[in-house]
Amino acid sequence: MFDFNMYFVINALGDEYLGILHYLPSTGHNDSMAVGYVLVNVTPGMEIEAYNKIKGMKHVDDITVLFGDYDLIIKLVADDLASIAKTVVETIRPVQGVLNTKTLAGADI
């Protein structure tokens, strides 16, 4: 039988529930990893270039090209939320073609 930690995603200000659920298998340790999701708008025509630059970055666990209001969603996993924030500000936002980001922090419940 599996033991799971459940995370739900809220915006960084905590005033909006976005309905994203994510389950991480429990390792059986007290170690907990911070999980964040970054919604990204990219200059039209630069989606694949941005995707390819971001996919190999430190803390990037998954990245998906989207249709709709955002162009990419990135799942980040790090030791703490400060590391996630630093990754967004220092490595994702400077990527050529990235117009803006919205970071969602996973909450351990």
CA atoms of 80 and 77, how far apart (whole Å)? 8
pLDDT in tens, 13-70: 444 444 343 444 444 433 578 999 999 999 999 999 999 999 999 999 999 999 999 9
- Domain holding 33, by residue range, is 4-108
pLDDT in tens, 54-65: 999 999 999 999
Q: How many independent structural domains does the chain possess?
A: 1
Q: Note whether 34 and 78 are within 8 A (CB).
A: yes
Q: Which CATH number does the domain housing residue 45 bear?
A: 3.30.70.920
